[in-house]
Structure 1
Amino acid sequence: MEILYGLRELNLLSKSDTAIVFGSSFNPPHLGHLVIFNHALNYFNGDFYIVPTKVPPHKTLSVPFEKRLNWAIKTFEVFEYENVYLSDMERHIEGVNYAIYNVEYFLKYYNNVVLLVGEDALGNIEKWYRYEELLRKSKLAVYPRTRDGKLYTRGREVLGELYSSVIELDFPIVEISSSEIRKAVREGKSITGLVPKVIEKDIIETYNNSEEGERW
């Protein structure tokens, strides 16, 4: 994995015509993220970009971007592949950086952009900024989060013909979430085995000394 600092020109990095973008607040990153990313590596052919979110829409984060970026670097460094990059691009963008802006950035260098997201994204897809344009310019690769696939069903109903831009991924359901980890820390419960050992102590100290890990 190569770490990219700044809004880099990606021409010399491109090894494919497709960019697969895994964006998340990583608040905190956990082993479920690694499982999903590994399945994506085996499923897609392309260049993979891990993009920690600085200011996500509809959320307020109490953990600074720099710390979450550092956690993400330590988490994903296990992927020692030349087509895997972790970018701090959102550090250099003022205000909320909506997904459509990232898509437009990657389209400068790639013919195709695929956003790797969880099924819960389909639960409020119509609230995404310029979501119709987003789905015309990119693909949403959606991994399952519910056992009955109810959010896929909702996505089909809401999006209609735009659902052709959704790729339903037959990945295993990973029942680990950042919110559950934050809750466990605040309740004094163990998170061993849920997060990389190298950042476990820092995660515990961080959430024990912050108001909440993430607030809506």
Structure 2
Amino acid sequence: MRKKIGLFFGTFNPVHIGHLILANHLWQYSDLDEVWLVVTPHNPLKKKSSLLNDHHRFEMVWRLCEDYPGLKPSDIEFNLPQPNYTVSTLAHLEEKYPDYEFSLIMGEDNLKSFPKWKNYEVILERYSLVVYPRYSEGFVEEVFKDHPKITRIDAPRIEISSTFIRQAIKEGKDVRPLLPQVVWQYIDEMNFYR
């Protein structure tokens, strides 16, 4: 039987307890054998200026995953041509790991914008989507309502944003409760986001 891998993409700038709770929940309560936290070098839809260096964000994710055997850090996109698109990453992973079955993990909010993704039809044809709930406005397109490749997981809704954490650190606030201890230690020792 093929190993089922859920791909949780993000800039993880920084990775926080919301990411950890969600990734662990998906590993524990879905049919996924592992959840890979894929650190994206640069989302084509985001400004790059506020991003920490790729290897620092990967280091934080790596430290976070150390205590969770079902969670794996991935820097697979670091060596792919930029800007990179999910469809290319999936093709690359399939080539590199032919015995694995990959699923894409995304929030309901991303499912709404999914038709804007490059080659989204190809993704949906070849891969499953695991969708977790988010507090967001509007409705997901009807076409995705009962799609056989889309599984909805009733995961906890944790509304913490990396943007909020970065701003809070800049303002000198104590954000330790929002970050896994190993991540906070790294941010603190490296003096990030100040």
TM-score normalised per structure 1? 0.76
1:23 lines up with 2:12 in the alignment: no
1:70 lines up with 2:56 in the alignment: no
- Residue number in structure 2 paired with 1:12: none
The answer to whether the Cα contact below 8 Å between 2:106 and 2:131 also exists between their aligned partners in 1 is yes
The answer to whether the Cα contact below 8 Å between 2:2 and 2:100 also exists between their aligned partners in 1 is no
Per the TM alignment, residue 103 of structure 1 is displaced from its structure 2 partner at its CA by 1.7
Q: Determine what percentage of the aligned residue pairs are the same residue.
A: 29
Per the TM alignment, residue 50 of structure 1 is displaced from its structure 2 partner at its CA by 2.2
What letter is aligned with 1:71? M
Q: How many residues are paired up?
A: 187
1:125 lines up with 2:114 in the alignment: yes
The answer to whether the Cα contact below 8 Å between 2:26 and 2:35 also exists between their aligned partners in 1 is no
What root-mean-square deviation, in Å, do the aligned CA atoms of Structure 1 and Structure 2 show? Answer: 2.3
- Structure 1 110/156 Cα, relative in aligned 2: closer, same or farther at 3 Å? farther
- Structure 1 206/181 Cα, relative in aligned 2: closer, same or farther at 3 Å? same
Per the TM alignment, residue 60 of structure 1 is displaced from its structure 2 partner at its CA by 2.4
Report runs of 4+ in structure 1 exceeding 6 Å deviation. Answer: none
For structure 1, list consecutive stretches of 5 or more residues without a partner in the other structure: 1-14, 209-216
The answer to whether the Cα contact below 8 Å between 2:129 and 2:151 also exists between their aligned partners in 1 is yes
2:32, 2:113 → 1: CA distance?
28
The answer to whether the Cα contact below 8 Å between 1:136 and 1:162 also exists between their aligned partners in 2 is no
- Residue number in structure 1 paired with 2:26: 40
1:201, 1:23 → 2: CA distance?
23
- Residue number in structure 2 paired with 1:103: 90
2:103, 2:173 → 1: CA distance?
36
- Structure 1 103/18 Cα, relative in aligned 2: closer, same or farther at 3 Å? same
